[in-house]
Structure 1
Amino acid sequence: MLKKFLSFIFILTFLTACNEDEIQSKSVEWEKYVNSKFGFSVNYPPDWNIGEESDNEDGINLYIGNPDVQILAFASYYMEEISNPYGNAENDGFDIQRITLDNGKSADLIVGKLDQMVNYELVFISNDIIYNVKAEVSKSFFDKNEDTLLKVVKSLDAL
């Protein structure tokens, strides 16, 4: 009888500890990168090591330390005749999906595979500025982090 009781207490303690870990991981606040030159922000997980802002202040590398992962948040002045991400995506056979950002605005998500890497790019154009959150990652990284990447891209907010 004592063994059953102790086993029950052990299982109850284990389940309680798991729930506390789950609650703590859900309550962890994400970091926010704010770009003052183009007036946008994007959220990212606190365990990502980010780089320094680029010299021309157009954006930042949101994930450094892994050669199979490049995740950038950046903006530039949009000139359709010079930089058209949609033409490149169509030429490479990528899918273009319309999504709703966390701020309620619509943007395009371009997804495809090229040279063993998954390309995952959010494109939002407003007031002659093109805002991007672009990931070029290994298939294994993408498979493990697809939900996180979607959460990052959907957090883009043009201030």
Structure 2
Amino acid sequence: MQRFLLLLFLALPVAAVAQGWEPYVNARFGFTMEIPPGFSLVQEAGNGDGRTYAKGEAKLSVWANHLATGPFEEEVAGRRETYLQEGWDLSYDRQTAGWASLSGTLVDSILYHRIIALCEDAAASFVLEYPQSMKAQMSPLVGRLVKSLRPAEGCTSAQGAAPPAQ
């Protein structure tokens, strides 16, 4: 497993590290993602599910979970319903068989949630939440975050399930 993670880390684009984007590899669920410059680690889940980062008032949560409620579509539907119950106005809601993106506002906050299917009945997500006042600073990061959230090599059932943002 350690050899696999080393190879995975070495396969990450050198340009990402050079520009200040830091790789995050989740060995437990088998996915990778790049963390933008300036985001500091705030908390790591004790069970290896994921991490939370912050930059000022912006919060970036990255995690994975087993699909306890059923297939991927039901997982996304549950997330969507939770956001609506919390009062989020979801202005962007796009879903395919292997990925979904939800984005919206609540009072003075903006939320972007990307979720992708992984192997072994699991899904990986990131949620970027920030105040409206940081929109100009945070919005340009979303596309790269979306493109960088990927299943690990060898996860053939999920490969290609999470294409880059369109």
SS at match of 1:151: helix
Report the equivalent of 2:139. 146
Report the equivalent of 1:74. 63
Q: Which of these residues, 6, 30, 36, is aligned with residue 39 of structure 1?
A: 30
2-structure distance, mates of 1:134, 1:109: 10
Check whether the contact 2:66–2:122 (CA below 8 A) recurs between aligned residues.
yes
Q: Which of these residues, 76, 79, 88, is aligned with residue 85 of structure 1?
A: 79
Cα 1:56–1:139, aligned 2, differ >3 Å: closer, same or farther?
A: same
Unaligned runs of 5+ in 2: 1-17, 153-166
The superposition leaves residues 86-106 of structure 1 with CA deviations (integer Å, 9 ceiling, x where unpaired) of 32345544121248xxxxx95
1-structure distance, mates of 2:129, 2:36: 17
Report the equivalent of 2:93. 96
2-structure distance, mates of 1:47, 1:70: 11
Q: Name the amino acid aligned to 1:71.
A: L
Which 4+ runs in 1 deviate beyond 3 A?
89-93
Q: Name the amino acid aligned to 2:107.
A: D
- Identity across aligned pairs (percent)? 20
The superposition leaves residues 62-118 of structure 1 with CA deviations (integer Å, 9 ceiling, x where unpaired) of 325x2x22111100111236952132345544121248xxxxx95211001113211
2-structure distance, mates of 1:32, 1:115: 32
CA positional deviation for 1:46: 3.3
Cα 1:139–1:36, aligned 2, differ >3 Å: closer, same or farther?
A: same
2-structure distance, mates of 1:123, 1:132: 4
CA positional deviation for 1:131: 0.9
2-structure distance, mates of 1:154, 1:88: 25
Taking only aligned residues, the RMSD between alpha carbons, in angstroms, comes to 2.7
Check whether the contact 1:32–1:41 (CA below 8 A) recurs between aligned residues.
yes
Cα 1:60–1:106, aligned 2, differ >3 Å: closer, same or farther?
A: same
Q: Which of these residues, 62, 80, 98, is aligned with residue 53 of structure 2?
A: 62
In the superposition, the TM-score normalised over structure 1's length comes to: 0.67
Q: Name the amino acid aligned to 2:104.
A: G
Check whether the contact 1:42–1:157 (CA below 8 A) recurs between aligned residues.
yes
CA positional deviation for 1:120: 0.8
* 1:109 aligns to 2:98 (yes or no): no
Report the equivalent of 1:125. 117
Q: Name the amino acid aligned to 2:25.
A: V
Unaligned runs of 5+ in 1: 1-26, 100-104
